[in-house]
Amino acid sequence: MTRTETPVVSEEYVSGGSRPSALRITDLRVANLHGVPFRSSIIRIDTNQGLVGYGEVRDQASATYALMLKSRLVGENPCNVDKLFRKIKQFGFHARQGGGVSGVEMALMDLAGKAYGVPVYALLGGQFRDVIRCYADTPSVSDPEEMGRRLLERKRRGFTMLKMDVGVDLLCDVPGTVIAPAGARDNKTTMHPFAGIQVTAKGVEYLTNYVDTVRSILGYDVALAADHFGHIALDSCIRIGRALEPFTLAWLEDLIPWQFTDQWRQLTEAVAVPTCTGEDIYLTEGFKPLLDAGAIRVVHPDPATSGGIAETKRLGDYAQERGVAMAVHLAASPIATMACVHLASATENFLALEHHAADVPFWSELVTDLPRPLIQDGHIAVPETPGLGFGDINEELFRHQLDPRDPVFFAESTHWDAENSHDRLWS
């Protein structure tokens, strides 16, 4: 080619799917599902160029948390993820109240990836891994031998990490194991330190024998975490934690409410088992007291509460600087799961991603163009396709799984278009 010739540019490598600078949000709608594994609202954000982004409100949270954000998003460029996140994050809070902001952020990241033609992990700085380890949560049963067999079945399916419940619910019919005020064990709204529930030495021994039996069946070549100890106070937590030290548990989860940083620090210093919490904390700032105090060994955000993909990546990096690993809590459809897969791929101190749907046979079929089953040998392969990586939703299956209490399938949401207020937090 001479200097005067015009170079030939092949369009083979040019994305024709979007003009990112001209991309605008035109609509936000939801579909309410149940049994996926629990109740979840799927967010769909539409654009003026035909691109669609999907996210997911946290399990058992209100779709209103997402719909109320519509008027703040329509007309905006979804590729400006950080700008829009800063605009809407004031409307989230801890636990399920973070579900709307977090689910919208997932959908924005999905759109940005599709607009630029890259997988979401690339927007986060690239990969540390291309397969994601999952841990299977397993419903608890009172018979430890049956519990061991249930866990063993998951191990045979290829999971290298599992989780079970170990707590006062196992002691309901065992006399002399729990001391509690009348009605305290049925009260789920009083925080642990104030419930007045104590586990006796007999109760601790019972739980120890339970875990011993489970481990004898499952073996020690698979990681095993424990959760749902009940609304018991710090001293009982310490006694149980010390008694469970011989069984090399991956972590003890949510023994006390996450708000009590000093109690978590005391617990962590008292037991030789990793301590873990975080599924109900919103934004990195919410995690900082625990991490700055060295109060936990494993941080455990749910990205459907903690702020979505990029914010949870920020949290993971903050935790890594303090020597803390990050596991990811989740009970969701493949949509939020794939959001977490990209997050996990791009976060160096990632440990494992929770899978709560090991007993839902159709779970992998809720979206298209991904491997079936999605989880193979306990891992998910990170897709190379743009956005979150799946092709589309399975509309027929979505309609079959609509929540009978509110069977909305991406119905028009114009009644949210005019929702507005003076949102500025300063004068």
Each of the 427 residues of the chain gets a pLDDT tens digit; together they read 444 554 444 445 545 557 899 999 999 999 999 999 999 999 999 999 999 999 999 999 999 999 999 999 999 999 999 999 999 999 999 999 999 999 999 999 999 999 999 999 999 999 999 999 999 999 999 999 999 999 999 999 999 999 999 999 999 999 999 999 999 988 989 999 999 999 999 999 999 999 999 999 999 999 999 999 999 999 999 999 999 999 999 999 999 999 999 999 999 999 999 999 999 999 999 999 999 999 999 999 999 999 999 999 999 999 999 999 999 999 999 999 999 999 999 999 999 999 999 999 999 999 999 999 999 999 999 999 999 999 999 999 999 999 999 999 999 999 999 998 999 999 9
Peptide bond into 119 cis (omega under 30): no
Tokens of 30: 């939801």
Round to whole Å and give the CA distance between 239 and 205: 10
Strand ranges in 249-384 using DSSP code E only, listed in sequence order: 252-253, 275-277, 298-299, 325-328, 350-355, 379-381
What's the predicted TM-score (pTM) here? 0.95
Round to whole Å and give the CA distance between 75 and 18: 16
Which pLDDT score is estimated for 210? 98
Which pLDDT score is estimated for 310? 98
Which pLDDT score is estimated for 1? 44
CB 388 within 8 A of CB 54: yes
Q: Which residues contact 84 (CB under 8 A, 6 or more apart)?
A: 72, 73, 76, 78, 104, 108
Tokens of 371: 């491997």
CB 330 within 8 A of CB 363: no
Round to whole Å and give the CA distance between 265 and 196: 21
| CB neighbourhood size of 305 (10 A) | 30
Tell me how far the alpha carbon of residue 98 is from its chain's centroid: 12
Which pLDDT score is estimated for 412? 98
What one-character DSSP code corresponds to residue 24?
Answer: -
Round to whole Å and give the CA distance between 80 and 54: 16
Residue found under tokens 């703040």:
72
DSSP string, 47-106: ETTS-EEEEEPPTT--THHHHTTHHHHTTS-TT-HHHHHHHHGGG--SGGGGHHHHHHHH
Dihedrals φ, ψ of 251, to 5°?
-170, 165
Which pLDDT score is estimated for 246? 98
Q: Which residues contact 354 (CB under 8 A, 6 or more apart)?
A: 134, 135, 137, 163, 327, 328, 329, 330, 331
What one-character DSSP code corresponds to residue 370?
Answer: S
